Chains A and B, each alone.
Chain A
């Protein structure tokens, strides 16, 4: 059936383009290395065109129900694509400084992204598992990319051991789900599970490992232990990518499963998600206070942000799910931006920001925009994202969750503004150097403008998120 083959191919077109560009990168060897990020951008633009074209073919099913083209997937893939572009552009100077500017780095970024495509567009257990593993294995290698640095090795090893453990757990849940339904396709699973009670203990045997495994991947407490270590030891552009894109893709998979085949079993997973959300808020925000490394501080804060995003799932209504999408997009912009500012700096302690507003006003201003947005203050997009989450919680009559979430915003103000305060102090001798390439300026500048602009006029994001859920 040749027509089928066209459908199949079109359903994975963006991932195929990205993976092919990744393979081509592996064969390259250029002096200077500036070609690699440019090549990545070309591939991403083509993949973006593919995603954009897919919007006209919503509902297309590829590979007998394994891949679904829909606006939800397009939304998540676009966010991952933005993160990959920024990471690749931001990595150029960083890798050059470390004398590690190999094409494999950029290839791995692309391979990870093709895995993310399968994670969020896959509607079949095998497909999403393969996607998850492509992403994870690429990230293990990226985290340990600085071979001669023991910290990078150590971060990669810790990430790999805990990541493989969580994959095994998730897979065990998948196998039970397959055993209960006799199918790996979401649609068949949904119809086979329809006649089971919402609190069936056998379903629990599938749901608990699946939800725990995915909470691991989004770095929600108490399963976040790998995140601070991996974020701190990895090359900084990888941290920017890991903290955003891999989290976004894992959330995409989590939402597709929990709001799809497992939606009727909400009583079974609601408690786990609620506890994880509150634990993430607490551990993320409290542990961030005492950190002296800016990267570790942002790592803990990203655990806290996972908590806020999970609150949208706790609310569970239309507004809550919409708020999750908005939050994920905003989170990606501000977190990638903040980590890329760190990537441009020589040293990454909180103290090293001292006097930066006088020595490097441009970079300092960008960082302040991201920090204000991360803290959730108006007029930035971070405020809009948090506000919609709280609004959804109140609409769903989950007042306590909203109150706890709002309290932790106050806690987070302290540690974000510790950095801002350092920046405004008088500079000392040996102030930190900041190296910015043209591409870096463009990428981080765009992220900052969007962070501010979407705070002033959030309507386009909301409209996009709403259409993604139709």
Chain B
């Protein structure tokens, strides 16, 4: 018994699912660290897309793009955690619904 080969379409479904999970996590979770993880999940959905298309077109552009995305994601997470540490020092919380000084 053999399974059907994995094609570009399968990767696209996987990436769409990851994007949806990331979106849901961003909207539903209250811990900021988990929200940051959700954003990483969304960026990884993009990476899967890029690498799958790279295989589909048989050139490396997409893979290079994915490496750039990974680099940028790291920079963003670093700045994000830095800001979160500064906030934690001042407020003592990382829960999104308790960070509410700015409101109308």
A binding-site residues for B, Cβ under 8 Å: 125-126, 129-130, 133, 136-137, 140-141, 144, 147-151, 153-158, 160-161, 164-165, 167-169, 171-172, 174-176, 178-179, 182-184, 228-229, 232-233, 287, 290-291, 296
- What per-residue 1/0 map shows which CB atoms of B85-104 lie under 8 Å from chain A? 01100110000000101101
Of B62, B68, B102, B104, the most chain A CB neighbours within 10 A belong to B102
Query: In the bound complex, do residue A141 and residue B79 qualify as a contact, i.e. CB atoms below 8 Å apart?
Result: yes
Closest CB in chain B relative to A370 CB, distance in Å: 23
Query: In the bound complex, do residue B101 and residue A151 qualify as a contact, i.e. CB atoms below 8 Å apart?
Result: yes
Complex interface: chain A residues within 8 A of B69 (CB):
129, 171
The 11 sampled A-B contact pairs (Cβ below 8 Å) are A133-B76, A141-B83, A158-B99, A161-B32, A175-B65, A178-B61, A179-B12, A182-B59, A228-B104, A229-B102, A233-B102
Query: In the bound complex, do residue B64 and residue A150 qualify as a contact, i.e. CB atoms below 8 Å apart?
Result: no
Compute how far the CA of A183 lies from the CA of B53 in the bound complex, rounded to whole angstroms. Answer: 10
- Chain A's closest residue to B94 (CB) is A157
Complex interface: chain A residues within 8 A of B75 (CB):
133, 137
Closest CB in chain A relative to B37 CB, distance in Å: 11
Complex interface: chain A residues within 8 A of B12 (CB):
179
Chain A binding surface, main DSSP class: helix
* Count of CB-CB pairs between chains A and B under 8 Å: 125
Query: In the bound complex, do residue A137 and residue B49 qualify as a contact, i.e. CB atoms below 8 Å apart?
Result: no
Query: In the bound complex, do residue B76 and residue A183 qualify as a contact, i.e. CB atoms below 8 Å apart?
Result: no
Query: In the bound complex, do residue B68 and residue A126 qualify as a contact, i.e. CB atoms below 8 Å apart?
Result: yes
Query: In the bound complex, do residue A155 and residue B49 qualify as a contact, i.e. CB atoms below 8 Å apart?
Result: no
Sort A-B residue pairs by CB-CB distance and give the 9 closest, nearest first. Answer: A179-B53, A168-B42, A153-B87, A175-B49, A182-B57, A150-B90, A229-B102, A133-B72, A171-B46
Closest CB in chain B relative to A257 CB, distance in Å: 16
Query: In the bound complex, do residue A179 and residue B90 qualify as a contact, i.e. CB atoms below 8 Å apart?
Result: no
Compute how far the CA of A156 lies from the CA of B49 in the bound complex, rounded to whole angstroms. Answer: 30
Residue from the list A157, A169, A175, A183 in contact with B84, Cβ < 8 A: A157
- What per-residue 1/0 map shows which CB atoms of B66-77 lie under 8 Å from chain A? 001100100110
Residue from the list A149, A157, A184 in contact with B83, Cβ < 8 A: A157
- What per-residue 1/0 map shows which CB atoms of B39-55 lie under 8 Å from chain A? 10011011001101100
Complex interface: chain B residues within 8 A of A233 (CB):
101-102
Query: In the bound complex, do residue B83 and residue A178 qualify as a contact, i.e. CB atoms below 8 Å apart?
Result: no
Query: In the bound complex, do residue B87 and residue A157 qualify as a contact, i.e. CB atoms below 8 Å apart?
Result: yes
Compute how far the CA of A296 lies from the CA of B28 in the bound complex, rounded to whole angstroms. Answer: 27
Residue from the list A130, A157, A178, A296 in contact with B104, Cβ < 8 A: A296
Closest CB in chain B relative to A219 CB, distance in Å: 15
Compute how far the CA of A153 lies from the CA of B42 in the bound complex, rounded to whole angstroms. Answer: 24
Compute how far the CA of A154 lies from the CA of B39 in the bound complex, rounded to whole angstroms. Answer: 18
List residues of B (4-54) whose CB comes within 8 Å of A's CBs.
Answer: 12, 19, 22, 26, 32, 35-36, 39, 42-43, 45-46, 49-50, 52-53
Query: In the bound complex, do residue A179 and residue B39 qualify as a contact, i.e. CB atoms below 8 Å apart?
Result: no
Known: A157-B87, A161-B32, A171-B43. A287 touches B104 (CB 8 A): yes
Complex interface: chain A residues within 8 A of B80 (CB):
140, 157, 160-161, 164
- Chain B's closest residue to A229 (CB) is B102
Known: A160-B80, A175-B46. A155 touches B65 (CB 8 A): no
Compute how far the CA of A130 lies from the CA of B80 in the bound complex, rounded to whole angstroms. Answer: 17
- Chain B's closest residue to A169 (CB) is B42
Complex interface: chain A residues within 8 A of B56 (CB):
179
- Chain A's closest residue to B100 (CB) is A154
